[in-house]
Amino acid sequence: MLTVGILAINLVAKSARPAAAAATGVTVLDTARLNPGAASRDYVRPSSAPTNLLESVPSPTAAPPAEPPSVRVRPVAGLTQAMMDHAATIVRVSQDRKLPRRAAVVAVVTALQETHLRNFANSTVPASLKLPHEGAERNFDSVGLFQQRPSQGWGPVADLMDPATAAGLFYDRLVRVKGWETMSVGSAAQAVQRSAFPTAYDKQQPKATTIVEAIL
């Protein structure tokens, strides 16, 4: 009977240990979280940013709603589906504004040349890294599909990192360029962007035209 009693006491003591640990604030280590500073190779973490694994994962609430597969345009001209989706957004913003097809071609030419239709964050702009993005580069404070700069009056980082809003801001400036409808596509793009490489946009026109035609 004495042996049975001892065994019962031991069993009760073991079952009470987790509760006791919780009461004393003892933390059970999760080995999967022992390296919280690790980041995806596709993202660049600023030195001042919190070392939090979740920072490099786009927030599902912040991302624009995905289009139903039935209305997505299949990629052309060597684009990925993500790139084609961005192009479709650019074109549809021009349609919403009732702009001519040429405006969409100018905008797609610009995004092709600036980022190859990828929504880039900037490693020197911490706010951009906290928003949905497809890699990060370091080029002044340029962000987004069009590499628009907050310091140059383009708008808040959140707006420039949103493809539809960024496209709208591009069109806002394009339509203010006198004679943009009749100048070359590359010249119209340069009039908006003021790039250090003013003739670089021209080579993107054939590809941009193919993309726009596939969407329209």
Q: What is the pLDDT of residue 80?
A: 98
Which value, to the nearest 10 degrees, does the dihedral of the CA atoms of residues 96, 145, 76, 172 take? 30
- Residue 160 backbone zone (phi > 0: left; psi -120 to 50: alpha; other: beta): alpha
**CA 39 distance to own-chain centroid:** 16
* 3-state secondary structure (DSSP) of residue 84: helix
Helix (H) / strand (E) element for 27: namely: none
For residue 136, list its beta bridge partners.
Answer: 121
Both tokens assigned to 68: 């139903």
Q: What is the pLDDT of residue 44?
A: 35
How high is the mean pLDDT in each 10-residue block of the chain (216 residues)?
Answer: 44 43 37 31 33 34 46 94 98 98 98 98 97 95 98 97 98 98 97 94 98 97
Helices 185-193 and 205-215 sit at what angle, rounded to 10 degrees?
100
Q: What pTM did the predictor assign?
A: 0.69
Q: What is the pLDDT of residue 71?
A: 73
Helix (H) / strand (E) element for 109: namely: helix 101-115
